[in-house]
Amino acid sequence: MNVHYPLILDGATGTELAKAGLTADNVSELWMLDHEEEVLRLQEGYVRAGAEVIYTPTFSASPVSLEKHGLADRTRELNLRLAGISKKAAAGKALVAGDIGPGGLMPRPFGHLSFEQMVDAFACQAEALEEAGVDLFVVETQMSIAEARAAFLGVRKVSAKPVFVSFTCNQEGKTLDGCDMASALVIMQAMGAAAVGLNCSWGPEQMLPVLKRLAPYAKVPLIAKPNAGMPEFVDGKAVYRCTPEEFTSVTAEMIKAGALILGGCCGTTAEHIRACAEKVKAFAGPLPEISAGGREYCAGQRVLLPADEALPFGERIACGSDFEEKAEEFDGEEIPVLVLDGHTDFEAFENAQYMIDGPVCFEAEDEKLLERALRLYRGRALYRGSLSDDAAAAFSAAYGLIVL
């Protein structure tokens, strides 16, 4: 996929279709198929306004989300048909991104699904979008690093196409599950995400400080897809009053901070996207270099550390059935060295890893055990041991593993 930067994304789908009659009482996927002309009108308008990428209207078309309406068995059909509308709207003038939104999934112990069940659910949706011929994927509005990783790995089961990943967070840069956005960036870019960033949450001015905080850690383009400001509720309906001029008032600063992929989320219209495209065209540059200064970082959900400095390793700990009890003793000042062997209890590790704020280091001689741990781990891990060169390269590419 050949693209240039800055890259312009589309604007809102849900809030715009609400103007055409979509309500909370509707199953949005069925409503959109019954009102294909409204979806076409909206997406064609974004392309005319300058959007170079439009999202398929499949935000809530994963089998987990569709199951709430008894439609999980129609996952393939609905994703194929909805993606087909976007391909028709793009008409070769814009790229089509297969949109995967959050399913509200939490792995054990907070949810009822295992991590691999989450991966399989997203792979089901991604497979249909791949079949539909999307140009890339976007995993968006993520509120949990666990679910973002599951969706990303689900896509990777069926496609090698580029994947953008964007989160929603508070103004302190924390996701709903408490993951720091700097950690989320380090984790996802190390796994191979083509771009990482923010969408929804709030307006451009509130998003800018978080983008600036992420910039030093970015090795990929950052995404900025804010709302049209904060909504006001009038007669029970959300009203967004941020004008296209106000919406693009900090576009140049966002680009300087590394946000090379820009668009709009809730409340934005074709006019907001047109204004964004004009600001991008007028940007005098030069564009920022995305390199994170050449540094590598290991990361837990809430703490990241430069991997090229002396690291504070703690004691070696066996990942057995008593792992949760041991995890309670981690103080975050040292990196625990987790030993994986035939006695490893992966369910105990999956259930208790949320207690670990910072990165971990794995020791393992069995590559299958190590990969199982890397799939479950919600961070960017270190490794000590005698891993083969081929396995080290494969695990670094797939999970961001840092081999010491």
Q: Which helix (H) or strand (E) holds 224?
A: strand 222-226
Within this chain, do residues 273 and 309 fall inside the same structural domain, yes or no?
Answer: no
88 belongs to a structural domain? yes
**Residue where a domain stops, chosen among 245, 269, 292:** 292
Q: 233: which residues sit within 8 A by CB, 6+ positions away?
A: 239
pLDDT at 191: 98
Distance CA 371, CA 362 (A): 10
**Residue where a domain stops, chosen among 292, 311, 338:** 292
Rounded to 5, what percent of the chain is helix, strand, coil?
40, 20, 40
Within this chain, do residues 200 and 305 fall inside the same structural domain, yes or no?
Answer: no
Structural domains counted in the chain:
2
Within this chain, do residues 236 and 325 fall inside the same structural domain, yes or no?
Answer: no
Alpha carbons within 13 A on the beta-carbon side of 388? 6
- Give the residue among 285, 282, 341 at the shortest CA–CA distance from 317: 341
2 belongs to a structural domain? no
Within this chain, do residues 125 and 216 fall inside the same structural domain, yes or no?
Answer: yes
Q: Are 359 and 303 in contact (CB under 8 A)?
A: yes
Within this chain, do residues 287 and 324 fall inside the same structural domain, yes or no?
Answer: no
347 belongs to a structural domain? yes
Taken in order 113, 117, 119, 124, the sign of the CA dihedral is negative
- Written as six digits, the tokens of 187 are 């984790």
Within this chain, do residues 317 and 378 fall inside the same structural domain, yes or no?
Answer: yes
Within this chain, do residues 316 and 354 fall inside the same structural domain, yes or no?
Answer: yes
3-state SS class at 77 = helix
- Written as six digits, the tokens of 175 are 């996701």
**Residue where a domain stops, chosen among 239, 262, 292:** 292
pTM of the model: 0.96
12 belongs to a structural domain? yes
pLDDT at 1: 67
Within this chain, do residues 225 and 305 fall inside the same structural domain, yes or no?
Answer: no
Q: What is the mean pLDDT of each run of 10 residues along the chain (404 residues)?
A: 88 96 96 98 98 98 95 98 98 98 79 89 98 98 96 98 97 93 98 98 95 96 96 84 97 97 98 98 90 88 92 91 86 88 93 91 96 97 95 97 96
1 belongs to a structural domain? no
118 belongs to a structural domain? yes
Within this chain, do residues 259 and 334 fall inside the same structural domain, yes or no?
Answer: no
Q: Are 9 and 262 in contact (CB under 8 A)?
A: yes
- Written as six digits, the tokens of 69 are 């309406």
Within this chain, do residues 263 and 363 fall inside the same structural domain, yes or no?
Answer: no
pLDDT at 203: 96
Structural domain boundaries, residue 330 = 301-403
- Give the residue among 339, 272, 311, 5 at the shortest CA–CA distance from 164: 5
3-state SS class at 355 = helix
Within this chain, do residues 129 and 238 fall inside the same structural domain, yes or no?
Answer: yes
Q: Which helix (H) or strand (E) holds 264?
A: none
CATH number of the domain to which 50 belongs: 3.20.20.330
What is the per-residue pLDDT across 233-288, written as a single tens digit (0 to 9) for each? 888 788 899 999 999 999 999 999 999 999 999 999 999 999 999 999 999 889 99
211 belongs to a structural domain? yes
Distance CA 131, CA 78 (A): 12
Within this chain, do residues 136 and 238 fall inside the same structural domain, yes or no?
Answer: yes
| Residue 8 φ/ψ, nearest 5 degrees | -100, 125
Query: DSSP labels for 180-195?
Result: BHHHHHHHHHHHT-SE
Question: For the chain, what is the total number of helices (H) and then of strands (E)?
Answer: 16, 17
